[in-house]
Structure 1
Amino acid sequence: MSGKPMQGRMTADGEGGVVVFLIGMRINSWWAVRSWLPVFLAMPRMIKELARDRGRGLLGYRLLPGLPRNLGLIQYWESKEKLLAYAADQGGEHRPAWAAFNRRAREGRDKVGFWHETYVVPAGSYESIYVNMPSFGLGEARGTVPVGRRGERAADRMAP
């Protein structure tokens, strides 16, 4: 979280659905640097690639805090279709990183773990509020507006 807190009650801007993608890795053996370091280094390359081309659908991301051996990100995507298209893109950073991870996983026998979870959240099925906070979460990804623009109560902001 960075920046100066915004005064008052804010909510994430934007209409429509959103895809929340959680992704991370777990270092199971610190000594197996050859197994986990390439996995660790692949994510910044993918994030840079996505940041250069906003049309791919990544709205924003944030590092997830974790224990020393657990590293993760929360990502916000425009759509499930754009997330899946990026994952399948033969010319992008993801496919070679995924293939390399699978090779290392077979060779390394559980030295590094990987996980992800995908949540497709339809319009009207989420809401957010940020009180005296810098931009954060979905509000950081989509921008924020005063709560009154989208409804004073959570139930109002979740209405279809």
Structure 2
Amino acid sequence: MSRKIYKGRYVVKSDESFVIFIIGMRINKFFSFTKWIPVFRAMGPMLRELYQHPELGFYHTEYLINWRGVTLIQYWRSFEELEAYARGKTHATAWRNFNRTIKDDGSVGIFHETYKVQKNATEAIYNNMPKFGLANVFTHTGVSPTTDTARDRIEK
């Protein structure tokens, strides 16, 4: 992922439907290291697999870290591909391990949200930023007279 700063204003152009999947973990009992560290570490193998196999439908993820945990914003080609991955071996193993070691003991929380984004239903602006989010997935281009305002971009 490039950390190059794109000076000025940029937008994203996409004519595709896609899925935004937000997934994360929350550390509820900080000193329960043996509980939350394995959950945190389970994300790595899944992300490596996804980046190594673009045919699975995964585009990109952004990491957001806070004092209680981590959240990943993922971009997928379709809900069907996300669902198929969730039923696959790597994810199923991580899920089984979570349920075996944590289940409902309250030490670690996990969550996810899924959004199906219809074709031409997004608006994004980036000002003096490295590529982030949708800019890592779709066409990242400078603002033009037809993409100058949020309304212009959402109604393109």
Q: Aligned partner of 1:103: which letter?
A: R
> Take 1:43 and 1:123, find their aligned partners in 2: how far apart are those partners?
29
> Take 2:93 and 2:75, find their aligned partners in 1: how far apart are those partners?
22
**Equivalent of 1:96, from 93, 97, 104?**
93
Deviation >4 Å, runs of 4+: none
Does 1:109 find its partner at 2:105? yes
Does 1:76 find its partner at 2:66? no
Change (3 A) 1:150 1:3: farther
Structure 1 residues without counterparts, runs of 5 or longer: none
Contact 2:14 2:120 in 1 (8 A): no
Partner of 1:23: 23
Structure 2 residues without counterparts, runs of 5 or longer: none
Q: Secondary structure at the match of 1:132?
A: strand
Q: CA RMSD in A?
A: 2.0
Partner of 1:5: 5
With 144-153 and 21-30 compared, the bigger mean Cα shift is at 144-153
Structure that is richer in strand per residue = 2
Q: Secondary structure at the match of 2:66?
A: coil
Deviation at 1:97, TM superposition (A): 0.1
Does 1:131 find its partner at 2:127? yes
Contact 1:21 1:74 in 2 (8 A): yes
Q: Aligned partner of 2:40: which letter?
A: F
> Take 1:104 and 1:58, find their aligned partners in 2: how far apart are those partners?
28
With 133-142 and 148-157 compared, the bigger mean Cα shift is at 148-157
Contact 2:11 2:147 in 1 (8 A): no
> Could you list the per-position Cα deviations for residues 114-135 of structure 1 after superposition, in whole angstroms to 9, with x for gaps in the alignment?
1111111111221111122111
Partner of 1:148: 144
Change (3 A) 1:138 1:125: same
Deviation at 1:143, TM superposition (A): 4.1
Partner of 2:36: 36
